[in-house]
Amino acid sequence: MVLWVNMILGVDEVGRGPWAGPLVVGAVVLPDSFSIEGLTDSKKLSAKKRAELDIAIREQALGWGLGWVHADELDTLGLSESLRVATIRAVEAVKAPYHEIIIDGTINFLKETGKGKYVTTMAKADLLVPAVSAASIVAKVARDTYMEEQDAVYPAYGFASHVGYGTAKHQQALEQHGVTVLHRTSFAPIKKLLQNTTKAGDSNDSHPKIVSLGALAEEAVAKWLAANSFTIKERNWKTKYCEIDIVAQKGDTLYFIEVKYRSSTDQGGGLAAITPKKLQQMKFAAELYEARSKTAANLRLAAVSVDKTGAIDLVEIE
């Protein structure tokens, strides 16, 4: 006798409505017998409980996957298409067998694919179907963790607390510091800020502008240097031939620092960004600075990298 077990692939999304950050779809296949208590809609759980359940789900699931669509892609595709793309990515990441797909909500985002005929859409499925609840939880934890990491890169925005949603604190940060690359420029509140910037023109610095990762990395490094007994002498010191991101002094040594943001370890540290030509330009700039300032300090060239967690690594070149 063969016992038939109907394996369900549960699918749910998080991050449909925030002003910043990615849209993430989770997909999970749970075994017929699992010992995970408390599965429900991730929004009904505390952060601590979600974290505990996330570990249990990943340990016991037969398969799970995540589909990510980041802000820039979301702005290009639009929300509806982004939901479809993220769902496809999440489902394709699951290698375990299953017989049915249940998507939370009323839209079959897999309709145009070969898996569309196996889909059942169900409102409130994240409350009713354990596999969908599990998908909701792993997606929520993954997205929240990502936004907490971005808080280290963009400390002025409070991403760890609101994870990109439109809170009063978030609105205030946008008005004071501008729009980052994490923000969804197609969403009405962000679009309005950028329209105000365009209308005001570049002469009015009180209006928000898009803040680059490089600029924020430089700000983070400047604060780190100050906290480690360096004195900042110059920021973005320019000559005709070269620009030095930061000139800082510690004791009798003057450092000429190139700052690089690294989104992944594949890019290498800050030293990887120093080409022979860049090194020659930095040497010339350091000698010119010494001549102009008539300083008697020792001169050092350095590269500093900042990763997506906010970790800072300074390496002297010579």
Residues of the chain predicted below pLDDT 50: 1-4, 200-208, 267
Tell me, which fold does domain 213-316 have in CATH? Trna Endonuclease; Chain: A, domain 1 (3.40.1350)
- Domain 8-151 belongs in CATH node 3.30.420.10: yes
DSSP summary character for residue 216? H
| Segment 266-274 long-range contacts (CB within 8 Å, at least 24 positions apart) | 269/303, 269/305, 269/313, 269/315, 270/303, 270/304, 270/305, 270/313, 270/314, 270/315, 271/303, 271/305, 271/315, 271/317, 273/303, 274/303, 274/317
pTM over 0.75: no
Is residue 26 within 8 A of residue 11, CB to CB? The reply is yes
Ordered DSSP codes for 135-148: HHHHHHHHHHHHHH
Read off the amino acid at residue 92: E
Query: Quick one: pLDDT at residue 213?
Result: 64
Query: Quick one: pLDDT at residue 212?
Result: 60
Query: Quick one: pLDDT at residue 296?
Result: 67
Phi, psi of 146 (to 5 degrees): -60, -45
How, if at all, do strands 119-122 and 100-104 pair?
parallel
Number of H helices, E strands in the chain: 10, 12
Tell me the per-residue pLDDT of 219-272, one tens digit each, with 9 for 90 and over. Answer: 888 888 888 888 988 888 887 667 888 999 998 899 998 888 766 555 455 566
Cross-strand bridge partners of residue 70? none
Query: What ranges do the domains of the chain cover?
Result: 8-151, 153-211, 213-316
